[in-house]
Structure 1
Amino acid sequence: MQTIADRLINTRQLIHKATVYAKRPEHSVQLLAVSKTKPVSDIKLAYEAGQRMFGENYIQEGVSKIQTLNTLTDIEWHMIGPIQSNKTKIVAEHFDWVQSVDRLKIARRLNEQRPADMPPLNVCIQLNIDEEESKSGITPKDLPDLVEEIVNMPKLTLRGLMAIPANNTSPDAQHKTLATLQTLFNDLASKVDTVDTLSVGMSNDMQAAIEYGSTMVRIGTAIFGARQ
């Protein structure tokens, strides 16, 4: 039976192979371990195996884990789930990154509520790249306006884009979506100095995402096992 440490090794090897195949520099793709619904004990095992970046989808669950593991000061906590406006304060006070900024109101509240003694909050704008009704995120045409607002917020640092492409699409459709996302990211990075992160790719589309410039893949089940 594979351990979490074994699965982490396997996942890192897959990322390495995909990076080599895409002819990209070694270590140009980071691994975000998605630990939603998993116990603190599993996060500790991943930490002991060298993992430092963890993603949480649910705010209260994530904050509880952050508080429980607050002695592990080199963990980097990413909020990757949707955020209601009445929950921005607790997110701003605890997380290092928010990848799911999808409207101006949320960005403004995170900026206003980030404690003065903490570094600026790293944020990614979530794009609904395939414009699916069931998913959060802004459309590409609304991206420039939100970027313009965020770059002027002193307690936020715009790091890039996050997206969840449509599932069950043909390879051609998948590649078209990822190519569009790559173009949007490259354009943004050319205009905003702090932008260095394209967060796209999960277990089912990781190789294709890396081929199209992903700098961070979000992997959960392949590391921690299926959710109960």
Structure 2
Amino acid sequence: MTDPALSESLTDARERLAAALRTASRPDDDARLLAVSKTKPAAMIREAWQLGQREFGENYVQEALDKQAELADLSDIVWHFIGPLQSNKSRTVAEHFAWIHSVDRERLARRLDAQRPASLPPLNVCLQVNISDETSKSGVTLAELPALADAVHALPNLRLRGLMAIPAPGVDPREQRRPFARLREALESLRTRHPEAPLDTLSMGMSDDMEAAVMEGATLVRLGTAIFGARQRP
């Protein structure tokens, strides 16, 4: 039996995404919910899975490993690593995740490529862009992005899928849309640069700015609080 509060919040999140897609005149299946489950127990992830959610985002390597072990019977879960990654923990991500959203340097990409098991398909990669030029955040600049994309695209065990960003907070919807528009334009430029790559992913938009992100083409929106409630620090 699932928690009625979780069922309600997940339904609300789905309806909110559907409404945003309609407002943007986009198809109903043009963007997906990534349930950000960091600091939440495996039991809550299992409940969300029972409610039809399949993609989950984690920020902390050891916490994610513990949850993956507890949920090993759910073979169709798709795990995304979305947090900053230290090079010494790259092997774990290469071996246990389907996606990583936070590649921001060539050295990390090369480690992930070398450490990806041959038995697994290529690791799906989003490059993290510091779209608001904040010194407190990870990510490459827009000027550095083409060179990093070239390097990742050349690595056989990685699949370059798109871009991720966490813009500076904004309240006005027009203000929120500006950095998302820059990220969309950057992806369009990369598609021209690498027309053979499956560059189909814009990982952008969270609980407070999802609608603005969808208006600018988000294909994965990362919702945590809106689905699972307020987080506690691990």
What TM-score do you get using the length of structure 2 for normalisation? 0.94
Counterpart check, 1:128 vs 2:123: no
Separation of aligned partners in 1, 2:137 and 2:172: 19
Counterpart check, 1:198 vs 2:205: no
- The 5 A counterparts of 1:154-169 are 154-168=156-170
State the SS of the aligned residue for 2:13: helix
Q: Deviations over 1:110-163 (max 9, x none)?
A: 000001111110010000001101111110000010011111101000010000
Separation of aligned partners in 1, 2:38 and 2:32: 18
Separation of aligned partners in 1, 2:143 and 2:46: 41
What are structure 1's unaligned runs of at least 5 residues? none
Q: Which amino acid aligns with 1:18?
A: A
- Residue from 139, 142, 146 that aligns with 2:144: 142
Q: What's the counterpart of residue 184 of structure 1?
A: 186
Structure 1 residue 189, shift from structure 2 partner: 2.8
Q: Is the 8 A contact 2:94 2:116 kept in 1?
A: yes
- The 5 A counterparts of 1:98-117 are 98-117=100-119
Separation of aligned partners in 2, 1:152 and 1:68: 35
Separation of aligned partners in 2, 1:53 and 1:96: 10
Seq. identity, %? 51
Separation of aligned partners in 1, 2:50 and 2:224: 17
Q: What's the counterpart of residue 228 of structure 2?
A: 224
- The 5 A counterparts of 1:76-115 are 76-115=78-117
Q: Is the 8 A contact 1:98 1:123 kept in 2?
A: yes
How many pairs were matched up?
228
Tell me the C-alpha RMSD between the 2 structures. 1.3
- Residue from 56, 59, 66 that aligns with 1:64: 66
Q: What's the counterpart of residue 28 of structure 1?
A: 30
Task: Pick which of 123-132 and 184-193 moved more.
Answer: 184-193
Q: Is the 8 A contact 1:200 1:216 kept in 2?
A: yes
Pick closer, same or farther for the CA change 1:29–1:144 going to 2, 3 Å.
same
Q: What's the counterpart of residue 42 of structure 2?
A: 40
Structure 1 residue 196, shift from structure 2 partner: 0.5
Structure 1 residue 174, shift from structure 2 partner: 2.3
Separation of aligned partners in 2, 1:6 and 1:173: 30
Q: Which amino acid aligns with 2:20?
A: A
Q: Is the 8 A contact 2:105 2:140 kept in 1?
A: yes
Pick closer, same or farther for the CA change 1:47–1:201 going to 2, 3 Å.
same
Separation of aligned partners in 2, 1:129 and 1:33: 22
